[in-house]
Chains A and B, each alone.
Chain A
Amino acid sequence: MSRPASRILDWLAERLPLAAARDFASHKTVPVHRYTVVYYLGGMTLFFFIVQVLTGILLMLYYRPSAAEAFESVEFIMTTVPYGWLIRSIHSWSANLMVFFAFIHLVTVYFTKGYKSPRELTWLTGCALLFLSMAFGFSGYLLPWNQLAFFATKVGTDIAGAVPLIGEWLLRFLRGGDRVTGGTLSRFYGWHVAILPAISLLMLGVHLLLVQLQGMSVPPTVKEEAARRRPMRFFPNFALRDLFGWVLALGVLLAVAALFPWELGEKADPFAPAYKDIRPEWYFMFMFETLKLVPGGEIAGIEYEAIPILLFGVAALLMVLVPFLDQRSRTTGRSPTFTAIGSVSLVYMVGMTAWGYRSLVPVYAMLLTFLVMVVLSLGTRRVPRTGPKP
């Protein structure tokens, strides 16, 4: 290392616990077993989050959050600002990929029982981050102020209004009034660029700190295999593989953003009839489709519509509390009941999404994801040495 660089490092080392950090990093290891591939999913989600922060900041330089100017400013970004179309398309694609990877990350952690003691807080902050991602998606969807977003927001906030007791308050709170107006847009913008990022950074900080302090969880079913195989050093082995994945993800992201630019649609008109297929983002589809199945009417003063909303609320709560409910996995490492509940929920969500789109693509996407994970985990299998040791 050149002299000035090492002198700067020495200067910093006198003021910061650099040696301790270096020591920690050099001793950090990652367990190796047939499910090691799932350890990359959180990092992948983080990559898309970073892309969101960077492209989001860039878009803020030209975006104007008002009913009169929002659509025109996004149009300006996409048609006049150099590479504006690319930055916006990346932001939209990366948002969807972030939610997708956050979801896959959650599913793999759930089925490998990664939530069990002492990692309850990691699970709780992770769930919070997933909900925050969905809130980001919901609020960001409205910002271009186009027809699709306008009606999806009307429907989405109206659903919140059906929640018993607090529904009316919640609806006005979300909309910033009784109707979806420019006021709603300002409010969603505030959530999207200030409040949600602030909470997310806090949650992300705690989540990542816990992962660093506690290390990776070894799934109970591969404890023996992980004990037999030599763990991988985090630096540089795991970090470089992570980096490789990020570069690959960047390539895929740029390719889809350039080849399939995100549409802008038509400017929102509060007095035009809704489109034929007004639909939310794909990750809300299973809930949206469930609500469609419920007929109108009310029982004991509660609208039928409120029942699935309450059930989804309860299901989300159960998911959040799973580390405390699943006591068996802590003691025996196995909990077939929870694996079964998780499987049924997953099948329901994928199934309803497919039904909502009247398409099998969601099912294929899920199967393809599973297949890729299997291929990757086989690819990281230990290759037995045949030759003499060097």
Chain B
Amino acid sequence: MDTPESPEAGTPNRRGFLNWLLGTSVGALFGSVLYPVARFLSPPEIPEASTRQVEAGAVNDPELLEKGFKILRFGNEPVILVRLGDEEFRAFAGTCTHLDCIVEFHKEPGRIWCNCHNGEYDLRGRVVAGPPPRPLEAFQVDLVAKGAGQPKTVVVSRA
């Protein structure tokens, strides 16, 4: 900084010292106010219970029979369960890899479809058309017998 009093560059003087003192104090003040604010603004990590497996209901669930698919709560993530036949089910991550929308299943062409930007996946989760960059993550589906006379239960687990 150039002050009229500075006699020579590099020589300390009173004005320069005071300016330095004031500058660092103001800097420290702003720093000590802005640091906590910045930390406050960044949301804390909240640990989520990790889910390995969920029961998706009976194989003859009316919603599954009617629409051919169902969105499950897999912990905090949505998972799409698709019914292809009485004993044939598939499950994939329910969020489109394009921009995070939740997908649905269209029975007619047999495709998983995202309404946001017309992303289309086949029944193995591979991208067929539209903007999605990656295939849907596949989940494992097992049918578990619950007892004599009872319909089997669909169990979805992380592959």
Contact = CB atoms under 8 A, between A and B. Distances in A.
A87 B36 contact: yes
B40 A81 contact: yes
B44 A58 contact: no
A82 B44 CA distance: 7
Contacts of A364: none
B37 interface: yes
Interface string A71-85: 000000000111110
A82 B39 contact: yes
B40 A58 contact: yes
Contacts of A82: 36, 39-40, 42, 44
A212 B152 CA distance: 80
A120 B89 CA distance: 79
Given A58-B41, A61-B41, A86 B29 contact: no
A86 B33 CA distance: 11
* Size class of the A contact interface (CB-based, 8 Å): 10 to 19
Nearest to A247: B29
Contact of B37 (A58, A80, A247): A58
Nearest to B40: A83
A164 B11 CA distance: 78
A64 to B, nearest CB: 14
Contacts of B46: 80
A5 to B, nearest CB: 14
Interface string A266-293: 0000000000000000000000000000
Contacts of A84: 40
A83 B40 CA distance: 6
Contacts of B37: 58, 83, 87
A254 to B, nearest CB: 8
A365 B59 CA distance: 74
Contacts of A247: 29
B42 to A, nearest CB: 7
Interface in A41-88: 58, 61, 80-84, 86-87
Contacts of B39: 82-83
A81 B36 contact: no
A206 to B, nearest CB: 30
B99 to A, nearest CB: 24
Nearest to B26: A247
A61 B36 CA distance: 15
Contacts of A83: 36-37, 39-40
Interface string A234-268: 00000000000001001000000000000000000
Contacts of A250: 29, 33
B47 to A, nearest CB: 11
A80 to B, nearest CB: 5
A61 B40 CA distance: 9
Nearest to B46: A80
Contacts of B36: 82-83, 86-87
Interface in B62-114: none
A53 to B, nearest CB: 13
A250 B28 CA distance: 14
B78 to A, nearest CB: 23
Given A86-B36, A87-B36, A81 B44 contact: yes
Interface of A: 58, 61, 80-84, 86-87, 247, 250
Interface of B: 29, 33, 36-37, 39-44, 46
9 closest pairs, A vs B, by CB? A83-B36, A82-B39, A83-B40, A80-B44, A83-B39, A81-B44, A87-B40, A58-B40, A82-B40
Given A61-B40, A80-B44, 6 more contacts: A58-B40, A58-B41, A82-B42, A83-B39, A247-B29, A250-B33
23 contacts: A58-B37, A58-B41, A61-B40, A61-B41, A80-B46, A81-B40, A81-B43, A81-B44, A82-B36, A82-B40, A82-B42, A82-B44, A83-B36, A83-B37, A83-B39, A83-B40, A84-B40, A86-B36, A87-B36, A87-B37, A87-B40, A250-B29, A250-B33
